[in-house]
Chain A
């Protein structure tokens, strides 16, 4: 008996990559949550050991003020991750509200909101964030608001599209025919069924939020010194790149690895979600 085999392998995200991303994120979370058992605090200045290369005590070396780079990166993780996640959460909530309003609030509301979104989407996110900081002044809170503001138009547009298609779904019509009130329709059917793809997008968005946050800090618009923030550390390290590479390279690596890890996981969820549809 002969066979005609048309089996084809479906390419998948390499499992190892996903596992690695998970491990890195878990490590970062531990860094954020577990109280420190580090050689030194992030703000302990010691001019005597300034710009030491990595060794047994200071795993990633010390910076120009003799602060432990490793300690600062671990503490910085708290700020960078929290900023990324919180800004994204803020953006998703605001974007969802605007998107729903646009989809369900009638033609005029939709036109006004979506033209505004069009304008905002035309500008690069970092530019929008800079604009917000210019208005609010630098600082951690305005940085958070700035990052969220830059991301809101994308989420609003997406939720609007989802809500428009869900609103026309047969099951919503069926609920209308049963006599469900508009608020019940939105809360029970339209909102939950619109959120799925947005949550996937939000995971990916967390990565870019971290980058925008770091960029703002790099430009000196984020938390003030001496707060350990990866972007700010990178900015400090820039002056010593030729003499003490570790001051700039390690914070840079931390940013890169985190964003890649978040993105790999986000893509994975995206695939899984699309597979379910």
Chain B
């Protein structure tokens, strides 16, 4: 039975006099009990499509459709009252980040109870039952807690519990695992698979092809507001017809042999760095960093971490959120003083220096942050952003523009961006500018803290290729921090796995990924969704 039928859906946003067509003629249907995945990069219109199905497209949106039917009911002319009947009972919505999707002032139990359509006295039992059903341990206790007291995984479970509370026959999940660590993501995906097994249809919105691969019966690929390709998941991922689908698949680092390019379609080999190990540029020796807790006491964010990074080498640092990898980055950058151990830069003391003495040496170590937008002064144009470090090292004023252009050229940008402000750049351009700025003083080492996590997969591919090229060209070493094992595997020579402030395993990347010794590394690797296509019906 066809549960949801959408024909020629168009969503236009009006902003002032401008009209932006976010969704431009999309048609699909979802059968009862099946999972349809809509995959696309940011701005493809996939989230707008999802929200339109529950009547939450947002202010300034104009929705048109040839057909928009759910369980035989026309959704096109529903008033607020009609939508309330459909939402929850007919269609449940699960959003990306449960921390902002749950009311911070109410307990999880109250939040779920609200979604239940029944007498108050029966609610308590049902809430506990639901929490149990979505795999929340100790539901009695959890129901009394507030969202911020729960871990990300538990919050997402609670959110799913509230979405399924009224027994919807369709669950719309908009990037349900994007904000989660990989091991937690695996649990949530398993939970969604369970819901599907009990007969709930799923509309899964995601940017991640691998997430979709294990769960979806059918997959639709969206780009610029239209579906460019759709069909059984096995076919779309295994034998893509549309060039864009092929490009997307090619850009996924995990699906690639190391040492090949991710962007540009062909699997061309990238230039590899000199294989002779160079001098150590960064040495962490037994670094410990302790943070005082608000309620008194302290917590070791980083405990006894040692690592050596040699010239021209890329060391990948992986770990889940809270593992202390960003703290390591800040200690390495000399932004935080370690409470124990020391850091050496190019064989000389670094962490032990006073800031005044450290400042002249800062030109040897550059940094690229996750969110380039927030790491630029919003008022400054690109030229000023890239030139700032040149001013610090006393580069002659007359020559700065030439040098800025040279740096921009190295990261694949032209003079056209010189006068633009950060907000006027695309995500990929911003990260290129960030890299140009980091390279400006001629560093021996780049510290990259989740540099591609905020980027779409095709842009991520370009930035990863750029980093590889720069390493080969300039011989710059990199401390590359990421939660994404595929990315780290693709780029790094060595890898260190962090958990709860400690490095649990480290070694050459191929060894660690092929034969992990520590159980946590194995657990991490197992949790990564794979782009192997599972024939529908045999899915777990």
Contacts and interface: CB of A to CB of B under 8 A. Distances in A.
B335 A177 contact: yes
Contact of A1 (B64, B362, B374, B378): B64
B392 A174 contact: no
Contacts, number: 91
Given A173-B335, A177-B335, A179-B362, A6 B57 contact: yes
Interface stretch (B26-34, B363-371, B402-410): B363-371
Contacts of A6: 55, 57-63
A176 B76 CA distance: 54
A3 interface: yes
Contact of A5 (B62, B366, B379, B441): B62
B414 interface: no
Given A3-B63, A177-B367, 18 more contacts: A1-B64, A2-B65, A3-B64, A4-B55, A4-B64, A6-B58, A6-B60, A6-B61, A6-B63, A170-B374, A173-B369, A173-B375, A174-B367, A175-B388, A177-B334, A177-B362, A179-B389, A193-B377
A1 B63 CA distance: 11
Contacts of A59: none
A84 B111 CA distance: 52
A178 interface: yes
Contacts of A3: 62-64, 76
B421 to A, nearest CB: 12
B244 interface: no
B59 A169 contact: no
Contacts of A7: 14, 59-62
Contacts of B363: 179
A273 interface: no
17 contacts: A1-B65, A2-B65, A4-B65, A7-B62, A8-B59, A10-B59, A170-B369, A170-B374, A173-B369, A174-B367, A174-B369, A177-B333, A178-B437, A179-B360, A179-B392, A180-B388, A181-B359
Interface of A: 1-8, 10, 169-171, 173-181, 184, 188-189, 192-193
B425 interface: no
Interface in B36-83: 55, 57-66, 75-78
B57 A178 contact: no
Contacts of B335: 173, 176-177
B520 interface: no
Nearest 9 CB-CB pairings of A with B: A179-B362, A170-B375, A178-B389, A170-B374, A4-B63, A179-B392, A177-B367, A174-B375, A171-B377
B376 interface: yes
Contacts of A169: 374
A189 B334 CA distance: 20
A199 to B, nearest CB: 14
B393 interface: yes
Interface residues of B, number: 40
Contacts of B62: 3, 5-7
Contacts of B365: 177
Nearest to A173: B335
A188 B380 CA distance: 10
Given A3-B62, A180-B388, A171 B374 contact: yes
A184 B75 CA distance: 58
Contacts of B58: 6
Contact of A4 (B76, B377, B437): B76
Interface string B346-363: 000000000000011011
A2 B374 CA distance: 42
Nearest to B365: A177
B359 A179 contact: yes
Given A3-B64, A171-B375, A193-B379, A178 B392 contact: yes
Interface string B323-342: 00000000001110000000
Contacts of B65: 1-2, 4
Contacts of A175: 377, 388
Nearest to A6: B61
Nearest to A5: B62
A211 to B, nearest CB: 33
Given A177-B333, A177-B367, A1 B375 contact: no
A173 B376 CA distance: 10
Nearest to A10: B59
Nearest to A189: B377
B14 A178 contact: no
B60 A171 contact: no
A193 B77 contact: no
A8 B60 CA distance: 6
A185 B9 CA distance: 50
Nearest to A175: B388
A110 to B, nearest CB: 18
Contact of B76 (A2, A181, A192): A2
A6 B13 CA distance: 10
A201 to B, nearest CB: 19
B487 to A, nearest CB: 21
B441 A178 contact: yes
B392 A180 contact: yes
